[in-house]
């Protein structure tokens, strides 16, 4: 799908609904807000409709107060779904979001995307949804405002693991250079996102880390929590950040019991092992180095199934 068709849709329509995956993080929020700013500057009617609230550590992002979890009034010409490998990732708002949008535009960078939109722009080589919205600004020949630059920088920063993942290409650094020229303060972004845990949240992280287990060969590491607590901050990324300090570990996994017989499993890989394929085996998906899935089993059963499969398949 060409960028030209998306540009034409924006120019020819007047009202837009923007959504992204449930449990929002830096890339989903940054891309939504940057697109919101672009469309508002064009004089369009725009609303952002998500399943979950903005975590406290992302409320520094400009216009984050416009992200709503209640249904907006009326219908919209176009619905933009960002950073979602499938429409199911919209969560509980999926059905209503689709009903309110006459046409769905799917913009994403997950290799497992199922092309659910009426218009699909899926670029697995992109580091993030924010990188794609940056490209949309360029295709629209619109100047990136300082506010939009902050949103885009924050999304790329988080989705590249602070520029440490394999997705951090020379193109990413060229984009970041342009965004910093808009007045971005990298230290301030880092402080807002990663230095925001309360003492209670840090104690919870320490309990999760204390559950750490290693495979026999020491290249697979995982943690789990019996009842996932929804804090204001992005605890998942904090846990992964700590786990990645371990040498020789190829894959790290976080098992979270969300409810009775519902377990969320998130993966991170250093690159040799494709965790998108692992997640795909269980009906999930994502990227080669970051993926996830949901299993409707007990926490212990989820751990047993996933770890057994990985050890037998990859011998790590």
Q: What pLDDT digit, counting tens, does each position of 33-65 carry?
A: 999 999 999 999 999 999 999 998 899 999 999
Mean pLDDT of 178-198: 92
Which tens digits make up the pLDDT trace of 249-290? 999 999 999 989 999 999 999 989 999 999 999 999 888 888
Identify the weakest region by mean pLDDT among 1-10, 98-107, 295-304: 1-10
Half-sphere exposure in the Cβ direction for 101 (13 Å, CA):
27
Mean pLDDT of 56-84: 96
Mean pLDDT (the chain) is 94
Which tens digits make up the pLDDT trace of 110-122? 999 999 999 999 9
pLDDT at 232: 61
pLDDT at 233: 64
Q: Specify the pTM.
A: 0.84
DSSP string computed for 224-270: EESS----SS-HHHHHHHHHTTSTT--EEEEEEEEETTEEEEEEEE-
Residues with Cβ within 8 Å of residue 70, at least 6 apart in sequence: none
Residues with Cβ within 8 Å of residue 140, at least 6 apart in sequence: 7, 10, 38
Residues with Cβ within 8 Å of residue 215, at least 6 apart in sequence: 221, 307, 310, 311, 316
First to last CA, the chain: 39
For helices 170-180 and 129-140, give the axis angle rounded to 10 degrees: 60
Mean pLDDT of 160-183: 94
pLDDT at 261: 94
pLDDT at 56: 87
pLDDT at 106: 97
Query: Does pLDDT of 300 surpass 80?
Result: yes
Confidence of residue 170 (pLDDT cuts 50, 70, 90): very high
What's CA 152's distance to the chain center, in Å?
13
Distance CA 258, CA 253 (A): 15
pLDDT at 197: 80
pLDDT at 194: 85
Query: Does pLDDT of 1 surpass 70?
Result: no
Residues with Cβ within 8 Å of residue 310, at least 6 apart in sequence: 215, 220, 251, 278, 316
Mean pLDDT of 157-165: 91
**Cα–Cα–Cα angle for 86, 7, 142, rounded to 5 degrees:** 115
Instruction: Please give the DSSP secondary-structure letter assigned to residue 232.
Output: S
Mean pLDDT of 15-27: 95
State how beta strands 119-122 and 78-82 pair.
unpaired
Cα 246 to Cα 12, 104, 222, 266: the distances in Å are 52, 42, 12, 17
pLDDT at 25: 92
Which tens digits make up the pLDDT trace of 196-244? 788 888 899 999 999 999 999 999 999 999 978 766 667 888 899 899 8
pLDDT at 301: 97
């Amino acid at each position: 799908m060409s960028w030209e068709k998306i540009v034409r849709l924006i120019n020819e329509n007047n009202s837009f609904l923007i959504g992204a995956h449930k449990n929002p993080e830096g890339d989903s929020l940054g891309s939504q807000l940057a697109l919101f700013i672009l469309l508002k500057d064009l004089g369009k009617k725009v609303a952002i409709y998500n399943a979950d609230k903005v975590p406290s550590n992302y409320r520094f992002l400009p216009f984050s107060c416009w992200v709503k979890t209640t249904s907006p009034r009326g219908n919209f010409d176009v619905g933009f779904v960002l950073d979602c490998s499938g429409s199911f990732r919209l969560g509980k708002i999926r059905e209503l979001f689709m009903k309110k949008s006459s046409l769905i535009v799917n913009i994403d960078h997950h290799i497992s995307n199922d092309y659910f939109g009426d218009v699909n722009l899926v670029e697995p080589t992109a580091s993030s949804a924010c990188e794609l919205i940056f490209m949309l600004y360029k295709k629209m020949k619109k100047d990136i405002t300082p506010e939009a630059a902050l949103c885009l920088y924050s999304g790329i920063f988080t989705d590249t693991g602070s520029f440490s993942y394999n997705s951090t290409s020379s193109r990413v650094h060229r984009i970041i250079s342009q965004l910093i020229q808009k007045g971005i303060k990298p230290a301030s972004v880092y402080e807002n996102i990663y230095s925001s845990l309360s003492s209670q949240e840090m104690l919870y992280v320490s309990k999760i880390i204390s559950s750490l287990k290693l495979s026999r060969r020491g290249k697979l590491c995982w943690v789990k929590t019996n009842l996932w607590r929804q804090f204001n901050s992005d605890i998942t990324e904090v846990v992964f950040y700590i786990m990645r300090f371990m040498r020789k570990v190829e894959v790290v996994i976080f098992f979270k019991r969300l409810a009775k017989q519902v377990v969320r499993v998130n993966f991170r890989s250093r690159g040799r092992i494709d965790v998108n394929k692992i997640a795909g085996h269980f009906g999930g998906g994502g990227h080669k180095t970051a993926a996830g899935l949901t299993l409707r089993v007990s926490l212990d059963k989820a751990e047993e199934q996933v770890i057994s499969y990985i050890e037998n398949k990859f011998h790590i």
